[in-house]
Structure 1
Amino acid sequence: MAFSRFRPTSHFIAPHSWMNDPCGAVYVPETQEYLLCYQWNPGTSEGGNCAWGMAKSKDLITWEDCSPALRNGSTYDRLGVFSGSVVSRLIDGQRVLFLFYTSVSAVPIHWSKDYIKGCESQSVAFSNDFGRSWHRYVANPLMKNPPNITGTTGWRDPFVSPWKGLSELLGVDLMTDYMMIASGVKGHGPELHLYQSRNLLDWNPVSTILSVKAGSMVSPTSSLKFGMNFECASFFSIGEKHYIIVGVEEDEDSKRHNGHYLMWMSGNLVLESGAPKFEITSHGLLDHGISYAAHIFRDAEGRLIQLGWADETAKKPIGTKQGWAGCLAHPRELYEILRPNTKLESGIDVWNVDEKSGTMTTLGIRPAPQVSTLRKHSKPVSIDSFPAIRSSNCQIEATFSMLSGNEIFVFNVRESSSEVTTIIFDLKEQQITVDRSKSSLERLGTASPESGSFELLTGEDLQVNIFVDNSITEVYANNRFALTSRIYPSLETSIGLSYYFGGFDEKNVKFACWVGLKNAWPKRIDCEGIIEEMPYVEKVEEETLKEQPIVREAAVVA
């Protein structure tokens, strides 16, 4: 019972034990499958890492467990195989997958600790059989030390991809690959280091593409501050605009979950003394709640998909009793929203305004199209029947039109006579909030609200999308706002749903609710009760694999 009490069923989640970052996702056209790797610490629900867990999927929604892609090694990665990325290439007509990761040989590693020389290095493993087996590169690590060894706050999470805009700026082959590594310098602040390669094995430094002062404001009008260190950074372009995503580690005074947050930045690539730099022109939160460690990749249709880790917000005794911790939020599509220029108030930093064209753009964030298949077997429920629904697993969609801009719309989920989680859309205050003050009688999780700023544009409808899956709740608005939250109701009867629209004319509301979303793991056996019986025992194999010519010598083809 403890194992399944708060366990989501429609989300990506490890079979048991602790999981955190999504750290390698790729679509393999030959098998028409997605592979998704994640940080896993099997055998315990305590935080830590000793493997890249892996699963496969045909549709990005329903999954099947695979053997771990990596486990801790014996030398340069004996204490951790940290986050990274997976790159797919055709080499001499054969599909080769490159798994880049941070290899860890010493701990602790944290921005507040003294940096241990050699604790983090960058390494790679290969697969020539579509991810069924992986083999470490015999010449690992690819890179052994950060630029500033003793003053480093972190140097990890390699993200590898071509970057057309940067290659054009530098005047190099458009097929050049770049590796971005999140980092920071003590006494200064967070940094992003960039390296380049033509064969994915030999890497040369390009520049520190972004370097900011710790604790400084992202912009003069921003509500966000740069923290002490960057993590899990990635880059992409949409049209002519360039974007960077980073996890920001804040200082000890942070009020955010685990002292970090997830930010996107739009900007320009420019040359300073021949070195490329990133100039920020707009920015915002990729998630206003707990989602972290963003990982991006392209799906089978070329859409840009983002994954994120949803940690537990109740650590003990929840984690130790239930035998698992953490899951991923639903896959999200990132795209660009273009609107005619309009007057902005709180959203001035989120939009990139172009006076010349009379338009403004921002980063769009919405559930990936594949997520809609979770509800295919369920008939939508109308607003009249909504208060009679009893469910801890559902999706709610609503569009409110003919708005004055002063309305407050409320949805109550996981509700009983004594418990309720309240989701509030306050247009006047320009806030969206998940109120958890009454979510749990036993105070099993934090009672603090999750809240984010959201400005509705003039004449715009409010479009709401809410997912509830046992202990995880995801809230989306107008395809540009996302908030992930965790709740832990004490009562089994807390499965009611209701709403309050403050007298708003329901003729102007388009509404639907789907109950009982699809199980994301139809082939997985029930793992309840097996945690103590199946402790994870690490098997370390010496690296005796020979370097394979197909990886080393052949030209890289996208």
Structure 2
Amino acid sequence: MASLRNAAIAFIASLPCRALASNIIDNNASPPNLSTVFNNSIFYTWRPRSHVLPPSGQIGDPCMHYTDPTTGLFHIGYLHNGAAGAKTSDLITWTDVAEDPTFIRAGGINDPVAVFDGSVIPYGINGTPTLLYTSVSYLPIQWTVPYTKGSETQSLAVTYDGGANFTKLEEGPVIPGPPFPVTNVTGFRDPYVFQSPQLDAAAISPEGTWYSVISGGIHGQGPSQFLFRQYDADFRDWEYLGEWWREEANSSWGDGTWAGRWGFNFEVGNVFALDTEGYNAEGEVFTTLGAEWSEVPIIPQVSQFREMLWAAGNITTSSNGSVHFDPTMAGKLDWGQWAYAAAGKLLPANSSTSTSSGTANDRFISYLWLTNNNFGTSAFPTMPQGWNSVLTTTRELAQGTIGNVIDNELVNETASWRVGSRDTATRTVELITLRQTIAREIRAAFVSNATRTFSQSGRSVSNSTSSYSNSNASSLAFQQSPISKFFMMTASIAFSSSARGSGDLKAGFKILGSEYESTAIYYQFSNESLIVDRSNSSAAALTTPGLLANNEAGRLRLFDIANGSNSSSIETLNLTIVVDNSVVEIFANDRFVLSTWIWSWYDESTQISFYHEGSGDVSFGNVTVYEGLVDAWPERVY
């Protein structure tokens, strides 16, 4: 362990100087109750270096993203004492928009209480970026309580200084509340602006019209997205087009296996169109949305149940001329219990980011809020840490395809995929789903900027023969492991055909391990799930009640893939695991993501191991570790 500690010290010494500041607490000693230590004394213990987060304090929902039409820089926003932001030329490194990154605060005539989410029209009033946001006059607002009229309105603000400040218009809200007679709402917030040639045609709108969906619901009916369209050139008047999407209260997509529940109230709805290359205004219509729900099916109860979902579907027109969104498939955007409030935006091919990376197509990129205090319900030691929550690694979204899939009972469900085409001769199908990948610039930077890169020889296992954490599990340490907690690992796991019927097979990896703590990430066929076993992840969780140790899990079906000659094999599980100190994001097969926290305590908890439990043939391969990640904030000084 001493040699490992010395190597870790050498690695840390290679980081930027400001990262050398040490914690007051000793991470080589047993952890105290962290809720009792001084403020900021564990500031660096779990702080990531490659994610978006403010210099200190709480980060909230991602929102208000846009590409500046003058500079070509991409701007990201997030709730932080109002709304704050940063800008980038490459999606890799970021600069705060000003010394104080907050660019709009509550306190105006329209928003005396709070500023909630909004979105930006890049060429808005007088051709400048224009923000449509929720201005709040009354709290509390929650889907379980009666709605106070006038509490949420939608207002405008314009930037004249490159996004450092958004100046509120000196006039009333441009959308003064829920449309008459839809007044008994569960919420009316988070306006998202977009353009859609398909909506132009369906709603008989002028070409290039801007639309806005506002998220919420109606008491006793269900969650909704309310649709508005631009009525005048200056965006000061918006015409209500109706509830373009509503679901029955607390219902689910199918049986709920693949997309959870629609809940009682929608939040943070985004609407966009995708093809297999990325953003395409003429492509398939997608929406991402937050769903708030309760375990009580009829009478709502106060709860913190939230899910971040996506859906794809068609735009239809009713006989009375109203337009509607009709889902054809739906799923979870992130299976992490604390990943929520996604916000995305078109990243055009002529942006500085796309130009510098040589990307020739428009893209849609998205971020989620990853809270580390369970939406304020756990006693996480926030003050000792000095910061709270992050935004997830940038994702590119596109229409995904899974080809050469055997046409059997595994494909025919109301699920997060749909059958795109069938080949009766080969008895195969092509499936359509949502594709989610790490933004190409970031993935390339994690590889090219790695301070250490090493590969691990593959391993084939048929039975568990030795003990690691219990009598049925086998774990073999890598020949090399990271010397830090900043790395990206890629790997593949192939299963034999007999694995499909195995009731006890688990296969994956253990990360952030030592003799004191470790985290298992594995796939099990019994419920087609990727599991993150956090029960032994953190020695600090044993002394600090606010560090939750519950497991995380998400559903992922591995299909049967035709190999020719009337044979088939189970789809290979392809994993990319990003570990940024305490933030862990698991990407699988370009269609599954689970983001979570691993609060490992000891500096020496960096070991990686193969993990196998139960009976069944498994082959591990293509294992590569890229250590170091990138410093996302080179200009910040703490």
**TM-score over 0.5 for the alignment?**
yes
Matched residues in 2 for 1:152 and 1:507: separation?
A: 53
Q: CA RMSD in A?
A: 2.5
Q: Deviations over 1:369-391 (max 9, x none)?
A: 12211342214211156543332
- Runs of at least 5 residues in structure 1 that lack an aligned partner in the other structure: 42-50, 527-558
Displacement of 1:401 in angstroms is 4.5
Aligned to 2:560: 458
**Higher Rg of the two aligned structures:** 2
Q: 1:353 aligns with which of 419, 428, 443?
A: 419
Q: Deviations over 1:345-366 (max 9, x none)?
A: 3883111124568532111111
Matched residues in 1 for 2:256 and 2:486: separation?
A: 39
Q: Which amino acid aligns with 2:334?
A: D
Aligned to 1:532: none
Deviates more, 1:225-234 or 1:437-446: 437-446
Q: Which amino acid aligns with 2:371?
A: D
1:241 equivalent in alignment to 2:284: yes
Matched residues in 2 for 1:203 and 1:316: separation?
A: 43
Aligned to 2:236: 201
Matched residues in 1 for 2:210 and 2:245: separation?
A: 18
The 3 A distance-change label for structure 1 pair 256 and 118 is: closer
1:126 equivalent in alignment to 2:154: no
What percentage of aligned pairs have identical amino acids?
29
Aligned to 2:327: 280
Q: 2:309 aligns with which of 263, 274, 279?
A: 263
Deviates more, 1:81-90 or 1:129-138: 129-138
Deviates more, 1:391-400 or 1:259-268: 391-400
Aligned to 1:382: 455
The 3 A distance-change label for structure 1 pair 402 and 226 is: closer
Q: Deviations over 1:315-359 (max 9, x none)?
A: 424112212111000011111112345335388311112456853
Aligned to 1:529: none
1:83 touches 1:156 (CA, 8 Å); kept in 2?
yes
The 3 A distance-change label for structure 1 pair 8 and 322 is: same
Aligned to 2:92: 61
Q: Which amino acid aligns with 2:446?
A: L
1:250 touches 1:259 (CA, 8 Å); kept in 2?
yes
Q: 2:80 aligns to what SS in structure 1?
A: strand
Matched residues in 1 for 2:303 and 2:43: separation?
A: 23
Q: 2:214 aligns with which of 174, 181, 202?
A: 181
Matched residues in 1 for 2:261 and 2:289: separation?
A: 13
Matched residues in 2 for 1:256 and 1:319: separation?
A: 24
Aligned to 1:16: 56
Q: 1:448 aligns with which of 550, 568, 579?
A: 550
Q: 1:83 aligns to what SS in structure 2?
A: strand
Q: 1:395 aligns to what SS in structure 2?
A: strand
Aligned to 1:370: 441
1:89 equivalent in alignment to 2:120: no
- Correspondence 1:320-339 to 2 at 5 A: 320-339=383-402
Q: 2:539 aligns to what SS in structure 1?
A: coil
Q: Which amino acid aligns with 2:316?
A: V
Deviates more, 1:188-197 or 1:170-179: 170-179
1:3 equivalent in alignment to 2:43: yes
Q: 1:468 aligns with which of 570, 576, 579?
A: 579
Q: Deviations over 1:453-488 (max 9, x none)?
A: 111122332210001111111001000000011122
2:316 touches 2:326 (CA, 8 Å); kept in 1?
yes
2:491 touches 2:620 (CA, 8 Å); kept in 1?
no
1:37 touches 1:69 (CA, 8 Å); kept in 2?
no
1:438 equivalent in alignment to 2:543: no
Aligned to 1:519: 631
Matched residues in 2 for 1:193 and 1:388: separation?
A: 51
1:162 touches 1:174 (CA, 8 Å); kept in 2?
no
1:423 touches 1:434 (CA, 8 Å); kept in 2?
yes
Deviates more, 1:344-353 or 1:53-62: 344-353
Matched residues in 1 for 2:284 and 2:183: separation?
A: 35
1:390 touches 1:497 (CA, 8 Å); kept in 2?
no
Aligned to 1:298: 346
- Runs of at least 5 residues in structure 2 that lack an aligned partner in the other structure: 1-22, 24-41, 276-282, 350-361, 424-428, 458-477, 500-504, 562-570
Matched residues in 1 for 2:525 and 2:622: separation?
A: 18
The 3 A distance-change label for structure 1 pair 256 and 410 is: farther
Matched residues in 1 for 2:347 and 2:90: separation?
A: 10
Matched residues in 2 for 1:220 and 1:498: separation?
A: 36
The 3 A distance-change label for structure 1 pair 155 and 336 is: same
Matched residues in 1 for 2:531 and 2:417: separation?
A: 21
The 3 A distance-change label for structure 1 pair 323 and 508 is: closer
Q: Deviations over 1:106-156 (max 9, x none)?
A: 100110122111110001111244323321122231111113565211100
1:36 equivalent in alignment to 2:68: no
Displacement of 1:195 in angstroms is 0.1
Q: Which amino acid aligns with 1:265?
A: A
Deviates more, 1:170-179 or 1:492-501: 492-501
Q: 1:425 aligns with which of 507, 519, 523?
A: 523
Matched residues in 2 for 1:312 and 1:253: separation?
A: 26
Q: Deviations over 1:272-307 (max 9, x none)?
A: 231111111111000010221111112243211011
Deviates more, 1:288-297 or 1:348-357: 348-357
The 3 A distance-change label for structure 1 pair 404 and 174 is: farther
The 3 A distance-change label for structure 1 pair 412 and 278 is: same
Matched residues in 1 for 2:55 and 2:120: separation?
A: 22
Displacement of 1:270 in angstroms is 0.8
Deviates more, 1:123-132 or 1:224-233: 123-132
The 3 A distance-change label for structure 1 pair 430 and 142 is: same
Q: 1:107 aligns to what SS in structure 2?
A: coil
Deviates more, 1:270-279 or 1:375-384: 375-384
Q: Aligned residue pairs: how many?
A: 515
Q: Which amino acid aligns with 2:417?
A: W
2:575 touches 2:588 (CA, 8 Å); kept in 1?
yes
Matched residues in 2 for 1:166 and 1:298: separation?
A: 17
- Correspondence 1:477-488 to 2 at 5 A: 477-488=588-599
Q: 1:311 aligns with which of 359, 362, 371?
A: 371
Deviates more, 1:170-179 or 1:507-516: 507-516
Q: 1:399 aligns with which of 492, 496, 513?
A: 492
Matched residues in 1 for 2:106 and 2:412: separation?
A: 44
